[in-house]
A and B are shown apart, each in its own frame.
Chain A
Amino acid sequence: MKKNPFKILILGITSVCFIFALSACSIQSKPTSDNSEKVVNLFTWANYVPDSVVNEFEKQTGIKVNYSNFSTNEEMLAKLQASRGSEYDVVICSDYIIEVMGKQKNILMQPIDKAKIPNYKNVDPQFLNQVYDKGNKYSMPYTLGSQMIVYNSEKVNFPIRGYKDLWNPALKNSLVLVDDPRIVLGMTLKKLGYSMNETDSKKLDQAKQDLLKLKPNVKVLDADTPHNSLINGDTTVGFMYGSQASAAVKANPKFKIVYPEEGMNAEEDNFIIPIKAPHKENAEKFINFMLDGKISNEATTANEYVNTNKAAKKYMSKEYLNNRAVFIPDSELKRAERFRDVGSATKTYDLIWSEFKQR
């Protein structure tokens, strides 16, 4: 009873606790920032804007970048809705979610003043004025993504030109596809000569029957790392995103890339400014900086997406220009189709997809 070694310990712990509790209070009562603060809150996928670019921006402008992450566009939208379009200054997200946001009653984006962003002129006009945001009122393109066919030239002994070749019975149990209903169904529709955004139930049914015929060829469905099954030899032909195709080619040059003759798909990722962005001016500065040719090239070299900037062309390395996965010729991009919101047909797409997976 005289000496309790724990008594001191406990008193110590309790007092530390109180200090912590108090400090927690001080953290949460931090005031929201005003426009003069040298900060910009960036919200996008991790590593999508390379560190070197962020550092360069901070060095040039003295504005600190708070880089926070989401993993899907839907998450991002939920977050913006909850904060009523405040908290974040610049969001980089996909085109279809911008179309969805543009149709909402309370538009969570604010129109971007193009006069404040002189580098807007650097954006290649073929990527502007798209259906998801006519006249680019709310958005400016950052990069573009697309899917393509990759095949093992040592194993496939017939020419592959387009989607229809994936149905070839010679490819039994040797195909890998991105695990995504819109992409795989879009490819099937395209093969049949329809639009990737078909909503007609008869045509969708036809696509379903056709897709079920593809099933014996499909060995792997993988959303994040489809290139792995190509590299380790599980599969010989794949349909996947450019950055993934690039990873396969880099692992082994025996993998060849094909732009499907039926036409590709293109998805743009864009900068937007939320309606109540706390540091609007810094957001404009950031977007302008990102649209600089040199910086734009630095970003797409790192993240292996398709560049949408005219001024970036002269900075591109030979390696980038020769990488068919990321440097897609304009002729292909011009006729590439965009995914659009298919409205109530989304349900049909999901049904077809689950039936396809269950077979």
Chain B
Amino acid sequence: MKTKFFRQISNIYIGMIFIYLYLPIFIVVVYSFNKSMAGTEWMGFTMDWYRKLFKDLNVIIAFKNSLTIAIVSTVISSIIGTIGAVGLYKYNFKGKNLVEGLLDITIVIPEVIMGIALLMYFSQMRFPLGIGTLVLSHTTFSIPFVFIVVKSRLAGFDSSIEDAAMDLGASRFKVFTSIILPLILPGILSGAMIAFVLSFDDVIINFFVSGPESTTLPIKIFSMLRFGLSPEINALCTLMLLITFGILIMVQFIKTMGTKKV
């Protein structure tokens, strides 16, 4: 009797938390189908805003830019982050804690400062601002996230397997590709997912280091606000949500596939 009561209470609690988390997002999506321009009352269902979006060439360019930057920077930061985590796990050296600490700090540096610093750096180096600088910047702020996730995955790693493999004559490279990598792959994927999402929806750093040909989707959304909120913005937000959720589901899928096989 008592346990049933508590279960109900906890279900209600979970439900409320989810409503709190998802209701605003749900409203954004629903209103992207609203006929009314002002967006305060429901005037009927329409797909016009999406049609308008896909006709807008600038939206498509921004979309392409955002995706290119996110994919390229995710791939690069995943490689560098993973190599770093494995390296720090395997080898002990003087100042190891310092190296780890310095990497953690980049996570807590406020984005504005990071953006200004990167912009000043690029403009001192006379580096033309554009997709290239965006990729470099996103890689910079994504590496620590991949690093931390992979590191925590390695923390639970039983090194006796590695020793056994070496004992049986496997080379270091062989050990890495056939033992370490498969085991930490879920960690790499989680890290890569975080990196992708961070890169895809970044505004502040994008603003500072973007150039004339590299407006990204979040910047476009912010700029559109000058003319007020419109269902067109809702539609754009919905598209961004779709991509983010798509990536999330894909990674989850690959992860479950992977763990089944190992």
Contacts and interface: CB of A to CB of B under 8 A. Distances in A.
Interface of A: 1, 4-7, 10-11, 14, 16-17, 20-21, 23-25, 27-30, 32, 41, 43, 45-48, 51, 54-55, 66-71, 75, 78-79, 82-84, 87-89, 224-225, 227-228, 231-232, 243-244, 247-248, 250-251, 303
B41 interface: yes
A27 B229 CA distance: 34
A249 to B, nearest CB: 11
**Minimum-distance CB pairs A-B, first 6:** A28-B132, A69-B223, A41-B212, A46-B223, A232-B40, A6-B182
B128 to A, nearest CB: 5
Contacts of B240: none
A225 B55 CA distance: 25
22 contacts: A4-B182, A10-B182, A20-B72, A20-B75, A21-B72, A21-B75, A28-B128, A28-B130, A32-B128, A51-B55, A51-B58, A55-B57, A66-B212, A66-B213, A68-B210, A69-B220, A71-B223, A75-B207, A89-B212, A228-B38, A231-B41, A243-B228
B123 interface: yes
Contacts of B55: 51
A303 B227 contact: yes
A68 B215 contact: yes
Interface in B208-259: 208, 210-215, 219-220, 222-229, 258
A66 B62 CA distance: 11
B76 A28 contact: no
B124 to A, nearest CB: 10
A17 B261 CA distance: 24
Contacts of A25: 132
Contacts of B207: 70, 75, 79
Contacts of A88: 212
A28 B219 CA distance: 20
A47 B227 contact: yes
B185 interface: yes
Contact of B72 (A10, A23, A30, A87): A23
Contact of A4 (B72, B178, B214): B178
Contacts of A67: 58, 215
Interface in B89-112: none
Contacts of B213: 41, 66, 68
B119 interface: yes
Given A4-B182, A41-B212, A47 B224 contact: yes
A250 B228 CA distance: 15
B95 to A, nearest CB: 28
B171 interface: no
B104 to A, nearest CB: 25
Contacts of B75: 16-17, 20-21
Nearest to B165: A1
Contacts of B182: 4, 6-7, 10
Contact of A28 (B41, B135, B225, B227): B135
Given A28-B127, A28-B135, A225-B39, 15 more contacts: A4-B178, A5-B261, A6-B262, A7-B178, A14-B79, A21-B72, A27-B130, A28-B128, A28-B132, A28-B133, A55-B57, A71-B219, A78-B208, A83-B129, A250-B37
Which secondary structure characterizes the binding site on chain A? Answer: helix
A303 B223 CA distance: 14
A84 B123 contact: yes
A263 B182 CA distance: 72
Contact of A7 (B76, B78, B177): B177
Contacts of B210: 68
Nearest to A232: B40
A66 B58 CA distance: 9
B120 interface: yes
A87 B220 contact: no
Contacts of A70: 207, 219, 223
A225 B132 contact: no
Nearest to A29: B132
B128 A30 contact: yes
Interface string B129-146: 111110110000000000
A11 B178 CA distance: 11
A251 B38 contact: yes
Contacts of A10: 177, 181-182, 185
A251 B39 CA distance: 10
Most chain A CB within 10 A, of B71, B228, B261, is at: B228
Nearest to A28: B132
Contacts of B127: 28
Contacts of A16: 75
Contacts of B158: none
A54 B55 CA distance: 13
A82 B120 contact: yes
Contact of B131 (A11, A27, A45, A232): A27
A71 B222 contact: yes
B135 A27 contact: yes
Contacts of A224: 225-226, 228-229
Interface in B38-95: 38-41, 55-58, 71-72, 75-76, 78-79
Nearest to B203: A71
Contact of A83 (B123, B222, B262): B123
Contacts of B79: 14, 17, 21
Given A24-B72, A224-B229, A228-B38, A11 B177 contact: yes
A87 B228 contact: no
B135 A24 contact: yes
Nearest to A64: B213
Contacts of B36: 251
